[in-house]
Amino acid sequence: MADRLTQLQDALDQATTQFYCAIRYISTRHEPIALGKEPTVKDENVTPDDPATFEIAKAELAKDLIMKSKQIELLICSLPGIGVSEVEQQQKLRSLEKELQEAEAERKQAVEEKEDMVERLDTVIRSIRRV
């Protein structure tokens, strides 16, 4: 599972694609109408859907865009730091930095113990080979 920022970026990319698809559908499937007293102009690139199908498709596209917007809003609200003051964020960072330093000290100690054990094992193996 990706982190929240990656999920947010993916959701924004998907929303952009959905917006493009919705605009493309509407621009290629609409029924031409006259503007004011101008005559209706037909476009060869437009193959209009029947009005009922067009309305259903528009409603579905709008529903999809609303759902994606809600998903994006939930991801934004779940980001760390939302609703937390700068001072609290700094305290949290200091706490995490301290934990990291402690974990690093434990790691170094474990590496030293491992090296000591390797030396001991090497000594034992050499003593066995001599026998």
**Closest to 4 (Cα-Cα) out of 71, 85, 91:** 71
Angle, CA 81 vertex, CA 78 and CA 86 arms, to 5°:
165
Q: How many residues does the chain have?
A: 131
Q: Mean pLDDT over all residues of the chain? A: 90
Pick 59 or 88 by higher pLDDT.
59
Which band of pLDDT confidence, cut at 50, 70 and 90, is reported for residue 19? very high
Q: What is the mean pLDDT of residues 118-122?
A: 94
pLDDT band at 1 (very low <50, low <70, confident <90, very high): low
Mean pLDDT is highest, among 15-19, 78-82, 90-94, 125-129, for: 15-19
- How large is the average pLDDT for residues 18-35? 90
